[in-house]
Amino acid sequence: MSDYFEELGHTPTGPEGANDYERHHRRLQVLAIMNGIDIEIQVPEASKRAIAALSVHTVLESELGGDLECAVCKEPAQLGDVYKILPCKHEFHEECVLLWLKKANSCPLCRYELETDDAVYEELRHYKQDEPNRRDRHDHLMNSMFG
């Protein structure tokens, strides 16, 4: 699409000029996904607030020899290792998971999504989180009409 504008010598307008175009384009992608169109979208990093809120687990001697392993570096837990626990309860070495959360907002094991600072993407994240409720509401409506 941006090529098309370039060809016409046109700068997309808006209060922030060309930068605003990027935001609108992302918004359009988000709306497309909400409408069931399967497209790829650039995933934002987790917000600093979400990262700061993660709890910490320091590996104790009694936990050694179990199956605790960091799924990112694939190393078994060692005494004194610092793990970060995500809201989905999956835990990883602090330095391993922080590297990842600066690239994407999801749990490496179950793709649970953490909060981001990207207002447009947050719309999609909330929409996805609401999925089970939406299905319930739909079923409820159907049952009330045809049940």
Specify the residue for token string 């447009």: 120
Instruction: Tell me which stretch binds other proteins (CB under 8 A): 5-13, 45-53, 71-79, 126-134.
Output: 71-79
Q: How far is the CB of 5 from other proteins (least distance, A)?
A: 25
Q: How far is the CB of 97 from other proteins (least distance, A)?
A: 9
Instruction: Tell me which stretch binds other proteins (CB under 8 A): 10-18, 22-30, 41-49, 54-62.
Output: 41-49
- The residue from 18, 73, 82, 142 that contacts other proteins (CB under 8 A) is 73
Specify the residue for token string 């290792």: 81
Whole-number Å distance between alpha carbons of 72 and 42: 21
Taking CB under 8 A as the rule, does residue 106 contact other proteins? yes
The residue (of 39 and 52) whose beta carbon lies closer to other proteins is 39
Taking CB under 8 A as the rule, does residue 139 contact other proteins? no
Q: Where are the beta strands (DSSP E) in the chain?
A: 55-58, 82-85, 91-93
The first and second tokens of residue 45, run together, are 């990093």
| Chain Cα centroid distance, residue 127 | 12
The residue (of 12 and 122) whose beta carbon lies closer to other proteins is 122
Let me know: does 122 contact 50? Beta carbons within 8 Å.
Answer: no
Neighbours of 137 (CB within 10 A): 11
Whole-number Å distance between alpha carbons of 128 and 124: 6
The residue (of 1 and 37) whose beta carbon lies closer to other proteins is 37
Residues in contact with other proteins by CB under 8 A are 38, 40-43, 71-75, 96, 99-100, 103, 106, 108-109, 111
